Chains A and B, each alone.
Chain A
Amino acid sequence: MALMSLDVTRRSASTSAAPSVRSGAIPDVAKLIDVSRCIGCKACQAACMEWNDLRDEVGTNLGTLQNPQDLTDRSWTVMRFYEQEVGDRGLQWLIVKDGCLHCEDPGCLRACPAPGAIVQYANGIVDFQQDRCIGCGYCQTGCPFDVPRFSARDQKAYKCTLCSDRVAVGLEPACVKTCPTQALSFGSKADMRDLADERVRELRERGLGQAAIYDPAGVKGTHVVYVLPHGDPGLYRLPAKPEVSPLVAFWRGGVAKTLGVLTMVGVVVAGIFHYMKVGPMEVDEHEEGRRP
């Protein structure tokens, strides 16, 4: 996505801050997914394909109403359908809109070794810049929600952009625009939290005492927030306590960097000592002669 109109606060594999962050003026944004209002109509999937000009393959039916079966480089959101017995409420058909949650502390960005291939804007949106992507796959390892997908065509990673191009000009994401039942809402993070609180209160009044907000602290909160009528994230196949893998933290964090630098310095020093002690490596003539 074009960066020109956006304020980048964080870039992958870069320590320097982006030059043009306007301070104070840009609120955190969030999309609210109220599962209790979702009817699984897939209009959000259609809108996502329309706006982002994505056309996935016409697949097959694998024994479920879910289609496409999974997120792909051309399906940035899919509705997942779970038939679930929930205590004394009996059978529930839980329909969960899957896609990027736009973590405040994005594991993908932290894992990414390509400078500027993953950025986070001042409004919180995490976006992939395919022109800088090197196709290493570390973003997949870094993501606690298994969201980024690789394109077999250009070897680059793709995922939901939260319609950063629309948001940059004051529009809501395409999925939110099209949702017929207001299961999706969009606004400032604070407003969405307030709305989520209201929805949870209503659900509890209706007898859904476990209703809860999903805005996991392990990634410092997300810019896609769920209202889960039955509360337990496990019912919706959402990780209960998502966090960026310690390996990623280690790999991209200060300790690993220091260790890496120390190792490199060590190798150089060892080389010098080796040279001083043994002298230059010489090839004896006998071996030379045996070369084909």
Chain B
Amino acid sequence: MTNHWVDIKNADVVLVMGGNPAEAHPCGFKWVVEAKAHNKAKLVVVDPRFTRTAAVADLYAQLRPGTDIAFLGGVIRHLLEKDAIQKAYVLAYTNASFLVSDGFEFQDGVFSGYDEAGRKYDRGTWTYQKGPDGFVKSDPTLQDPRCVYQLMKAHYARYTPRMVAETTGVPEDLFAKVCDAIASTAAPDRTMTSLYALGWTQHSVGSQNIRAMAMIQLLLGNMGMAGGGVNALRGHSNIQGLTDLGLLSDLLPGYLTLPKENEAEYAKYVETRTLKPLRPGQMSYWQNYAKFHVSLMKAFYGKAATKENDWAYDWLPKLDKVYDILTVFHLMSQGKVNGYVCQGFNPLASIPHKAKLVEGLSKLKFLVTIDPLVTETSNFWQNHGDLNPVEPSKIMTEVFRLPSSCFAEEDGSLVNSGRTLQWHWKAAEPPGEAKNDPEIVAGLFTRIRALYAKEGGTVPEPILNLTWDYRIPTRPAGEELAREFNGKALADLPDPKDRTKTLAKEGEQLATFAHLQDDGTTSCGNWLFCGAFTQAGNMMARRDTSDPSGLGVYPGWGFSWPANRRVLYNRASCDPSGKPWDPRRKLVWWTGAKWAGNDVPDMRPDAKPEEGVGPFIMNPEGVGRLFGADKMADGPFPEHYEPFESPIANPFHAKVGPNPAARIYAPDRDMLGAPGEFPYAATTYRVTEHFHFWTKHARIPSVLQPESFVELDEVLAQKKGIRSGDRIVVRSKRGKIVAKAVVTKRIRPLRVGGKEVHTVGIPIHWGFEGLTRPGYITNSLTPFVGDANTQTPEFKAFLVDVEKAPAGVA
């Protein structure tokens, strides 16, 4: 979230699209209810299904799965046509006036630079025009045909209400009502919050769904405002912490990136990432990359990381490609993976195309699962009849199950969607032989290190030199790990403003990432978490419930990264002169001498407003990007592409159906279904009674939602002779499931692409383990296709056929 949970209460309009917080985030949803009750906020829900969120909405629109960009593109067009934008904000805080290189264009569904064979773009033309001073050229009148504003206007001119209706199925009059609600927040004293979750990310255009909303929020002047922002509601407890700590194959902690294969030299690696300002006077905060990186390497390798060995750069893996989950399981299915360690993860249930996963897991030599519960993955080799029709005798994979503890059985921190780190305390001992995850990993590590020490091996240095100075090496304590990711001074750090003072003495915990150094005198496991465990103690354990501003900031509760800042880009909540746009929502302001306020200002404290330092300090431009330049793999402007399996041709450009830069492996292309055989648009989701594949192991949630079901509309049900409660078979090109039918008015047939399209909704929670009725794994159906930028699989839009199950089918 750019903002945070409590802040939702400050919104005037709450737009829920790509998420279903009443069901997936019921506790956080209280703030939506607060906004409605105390701020008279309007709740607008756009979703393929009338959800429990829609049940309390003021306005609901049903759209076809996978058509969010068509909808949002239509909103952008509406805002630009009606001039319902916050002009002063757009001029000062976005790249609307920047001039774009002449080579950039969009034609026939693709952007310039497309390489069809490689399914990727050469992004060389997706750049700005630069002046002789090296800075980007701009036209503050917004008249230049090559300025971002004009290009954007031309790009979205095609997204007329009629095209929106034709593509998404949302009738023009209803679409106009949604647009009006959104446009009402262009006023400086009105804000809209956007709440989304996996309903946006899990598409082959997932990242662009979110970018489209970011553009809308910039046009409306809602970024940086209390009650505004683009807010990702994370799907698991602490999944925010997972990404913050870099547990993705191409990341290091704090969103630093692993080097690629062709980045053999450290100097080059750092230079590429030390982004120089594109406009005069901008902060371009990634200029500090080396400070974060060197401090991380000192945390990893301590004294073994020196200036001479480039801070142990050679010991970092260099990626030949991104090893995302689809790639790993694709390689596994080809027999190219020997072993797989699966920690807190149930891929057999969670990843698309179950049959392909079973094939891959069956080719492993060994599989290790670390989990508090028995997972389908760890029992993939067991025959469970139709639910898991494998032959155990033919599977040679050796499976090790290491039982781990649950969150309440250990001390530690969780990072919530609002970037707040909160400490929690152990409430119970883990049962049986279960150990907590650090203990399991430390056990593995110390044994592997002993083997390297004894036997040598190829490149033993990264293992042998790793800092491992925990009091009990086989049991690192949560507090020790927290101190490590906060970071400490390795020497006395003199204060550059007054050399007689120090920022921190040798051995002291650091107070802020602003004190990190690139000369090896600081160590820090994650620069974003610096400040969470300072010399003053564990900031994550703070529980101060005072809220002086009344804006729900709660500055003394836990610790929010970065720098305990609750609303990102909050400098943008003020006009260029430093005065809050809205006196009711004063987050920060310029006092005449410095930046101060109710939140920690997202700005250099002494940056005078007349210096023109932009609020988007991580961007070299200093402003928000309406034109994404070369940052996205699939285009600087979000464009509507159909899901890889779609019931209709792309109404915008029939020849370019799905995202031309999205990930699909050749064998998986053959596993895509066509609308002739699989006519219905399907989507998958969670329901409120369950959390993923965990709570089916607990009795009460199993009572509350005991058996797998599929939702379908009344017209389709009647056509197929299906009544509520019947068992039905749902098939895709990749597999089938059998479940109970829930025939509902809450999904309606849509008129799109000149025909009637039915939507079939499939919850995910059941499997062959647990206390619920045994069920088929929903991801038997979903396609093995990934988003162009994140490779997140397209769980949310694919094709199926449904029929009543023949008598006797279980």
Chain A residues with CB below 8 A from B23, complex form: 39, 41
- State which of A64-72, A154-162, A280-288 sits at the interface with chain B: A64-72
Chain B count of residues within 8 A CB distance of the other chain = 44
Within 8 A of A (CB), among B40-87: 40, 50, 52-56, 58
Contact between B688 and A180, CB atoms less than 8 A apart? no
Q: Which of B22, B40, B687, B706 contacts A58 (CB 8 A)?
A: B706
* Whole-angstrom distance between the Cβ of A16 and the nearest chain B Cβ: 42
Contact between B706 and A61, CB atoms less than 8 A apart? yes
Chain B residues with CB below 8 A from A15, complex form: none
Quick one: CB contact mask for B694-711 with A, threshold 8 Å, 1 for yes? 000001111111111100
* Whole-angstrom distance between the Cβ of A239 and the nearest chain B Cβ: 23
Contact between A61 and B700, CB atoms less than 8 A apart? no
- 8 further interface pairs, Cβ-Cβ under 8 Å (given A39-B26, A63-B740, A93-B746): A40-B22, A45-B704, A46-B700, A46-B701, A59-B703, A93-B55, A95-B55, A206-B58
* Whole-angstrom distance between the Cβ of B713 and the nearest chain A Cβ: 11
Q: Flag whether B37 is at the interface (Cβ < 8 A).
A: yes
Tell me the dominant secondary structure on chain A's binding face.
loop
Contact between A58 and B703, CB atoms less than 8 A apart? yes
Q: Which of A62, A68, A94, A181 contacts B29 (CB 8 A)?
A: A181
* Whole-angstrom distance between the Cβ of B40 and the nearest chain A Cβ: 8
Q: Flag whether A43 is at the interface (Cβ < 8 A).
A: yes
Q: Quick one: given A58-B771, A180-B26, A182-B33, are A39 and B703 in contact (CB under 8 Å)? A: no
Q: Flag whether A55 is at the interface (Cβ < 8 A).
A: yes
Quick one: CB contact mask for A55-98 with B, threshold 8 Å, 1 for yes? 11111111111011000000100000001010000011111000
A-B contact pairs, 9 of them (CB 8 A): A45-B704, A46-B704, A59-B703, A60-B740, A61-B706, A65-B742, A180-B29, A181-B33, A202-B37
Docked CA distance A43–B724 (Å): 25
Docked CA distance A49–B33 (Å): 26
Q: Which of B58, B688, B742 contacts A41 (CB 8 A)?
A: B688
* Whole-angstrom distance between the Cβ of B163 and the nearest chain A Cβ: 25
Quick one: CB contact mask for B11-51 with A, threshold 8 Å, 1 for yes? 00000000000110011011001000100100000000010
Q: Quick one: given A60-B740, A202-B37, are A49 and B56 in contact (CB under 8 Å)? A: no
Contact between B742 and A93, CB atoms less than 8 A apart? no
Within 8 A of B (CB), among A19-69: 36-43, 45-46, 49-50, 55-65, 67-68
Chain A: which residue is nearest B28 at the CB level?
A: A180
Q: Which of A37, A65, A91, A93 contacts B705 (CB 8 A)?
A: A65
Interface residues on A, range: 35 or more
Docked CA distance A151–B173 (Å): 53
Q: Quick one: given A61-B742, A63-B724, A63-B740, are A39 and B53 in contact (CB under 8 Å)? A: yes
Chain B residues with CB below 8 A from A61, complex form: 705-709, 725, 740, 742
Quick one: CB contact mask for B440-465 with A, threshold 8 Å, 1 for yes? 00000000000000000000000000
Q: Which of A55, A181, A205 contacts B703 (CB 8 A)?
A: A55
Contact between A181 and B52, CB atoms less than 8 A apart? no
Chain A residues with CB below 8 A from B27, complex form: 180
Chain B residues with CB below 8 A from A83, complex form: 744-746
Chain A residues with CB below 8 A from B53, complex form: 39
Contact between B725 and A63, CB atoms less than 8 A apart? yes
Contact between A182 and B30, CB atoms less than 8 A apart? yes
Q: Flag whether B388 is at the interface (Cβ < 8 A).
A: no
Contact between A39 and B52, CB atoms less than 8 A apart? yes
Contact between B30 and A62, CB atoms less than 8 A apart? no
Docked CA distance A59–B33 (Å): 32
Docked CA distance A95–B51 (Å): 12
Chain B residues with CB below 8 A from A43, complex form: 26
Q: Report which residue of B700, B702, B704, B705 has the largest number of chain A beta carbons within 10 angstroms of its beta carbon.
A: B704
Docked CA distance A45–B704 (Å): 8
Docked CA distance A43–B699 (Å): 14
Docked CA distance A180–B28 (Å): 8
Q: Flag whether B773 is at the interface (Cβ < 8 A).
A: yes
Q: Flag whether B250 is at the interface (Cβ < 8 A).
A: no
Chain B residues with CB below 8 A from A65, complex form: 687, 705, 709, 742
Contact between A41 and B26, CB atoms less than 8 A apart? yes
Q: Quick one: given A58-B772, A180-B30, A181-B30, are A42 and B58 in contact (CB under 8 Å)? A: no
Q: Flag whether B743 is at the interface (Cβ < 8 A).
A: yes
* Whole-angstrom distance between the Cβ of A22 and the nearest chain B Cβ: 35
Contact between A58 and B742, CB atoms less than 8 A apart? no
Contact between A41 and B706, CB atoms less than 8 A apart? no
Chain A: which residue is nearest B745 at the CB level?
A: A83
Q: Flag whether B689 is at the interface (Cβ < 8 A).
A: yes
Chain B residues with CB below 8 A from A38, complex form: 56
* Whole-angstrom distance between the Cβ of A81 and the nearest chain B Cβ: 9
Q: Flag whether B579 is at the interface (Cβ < 8 A).
A: no
